[in-house]
Chain A
Amino acid sequence: MNRTKWIILALGTVLIAGVLIMLGSPGDDGGGLVDNARMRELLEDGVHLVDVRTAAEFEAGHIPGAELVPLNVFEAAAANWDPSEPIALYCATGSRSAEAAALLRGLGFETVYDLGAGIVQWDGEIVGGTAVAAAPTPVATGGPVMYEFYTDW
């Protein structure tokens, strides 16, 4: 009876440890979508961070340490990267980085992280830019205007 108890206890401990390990390191197997908290951990670990937006967006503000590689030159740049090196991607809202992540996986990259909600939802440090609503500049117009700023990407 005592022996059975010990076996159950040992199995339970192994099971719980396994669950904790899985919870503690989400995305280690091939990367995947990550949230802000996980991205901060990856940045602390020195992950290769790539911003796939345009140069204008990058200059307006980006996550510290990010390398600018817009989508239109992404595949060419990726040819120079080590497929075994973990890489983390982001864009504005997650659509372009998802495209880039799929491209990298297709090229055989083993660990690709993607900041799912994009820099729009990033709550960490941003360098090189000013917040969108910081100081809107009045613009002389003949009447009310809605501007839609976009890119083809």
Chain B
Amino acid sequence: MVDRLTDEYEGVVEIRAMNVENDAEAARLAADFRVQYVPTFVFVGADGATVETLVGAVDEEDLRDALDAIK
């Protein structure tokens, strides 16, 4: 699902998959965003402000709504 959205939103919203278990940068960023659970999806606008955070099993429609809100 995320792969499909990555292709669809290419050039509009950058989608970064961050493995918090084996990637130090991902773990640091997760701490910055106060990520407490995985999976967590954080949507950051062009101004750097966090617009939305979705936690747990989310459906594609919710992801699309959040992506559309920051594009």
Residue of A nearest to B26 (CB): A149
**Would you list 10 pairs from A and B whose C-beta atoms are within 8 A, ordered by A residue?**
A61-B36, A118-B56, A130-B34, A132-B53, A139-B48, A147-B43, A147-B44, A149-B35, A149-B39, A150-B19
From A53, A118, A132, A143, give the contact of B14 (CB < 8 A). A143
B interface, size bucket: 35 or more
6 pairs of A and B residues whose beta carbons are closest in the complex: A136-B50, A144-B70, A92-B37, A60-B36, A151-B21, A138-B48
Interface residue? A44 (CB, 8 A): no
Of residues 6 through 40 on chain B, the ones whose CB sits less than 8 Å from some CB of chain A are 9, 12-22, 26-27, 29-40
| Chain A contacts for B31, CB-based, 8 A | 56, 60
Contact assessment for B35 and A145 in the assembled complex, using a CB-CB cutoff below 8 Å: no
* B20 lies within 8 A of A133 (CB): no
The one of A119, A120, A141, A148 in contact with B17, judged by C-beta atoms closer than 8 angstroms, is A148
Chain A 39-69 interface 0/1 with B at a Cβ cutoff of 8 Å (1 = within):
0000000000000011011001100000000
Chain A residue nearest in CB terms to B6: A146
Q: How far is the CA of A147 from the CA of B38 in the complex (A)?
A: 12
A89–chain B nearest beta-carbon distance, Å: 15
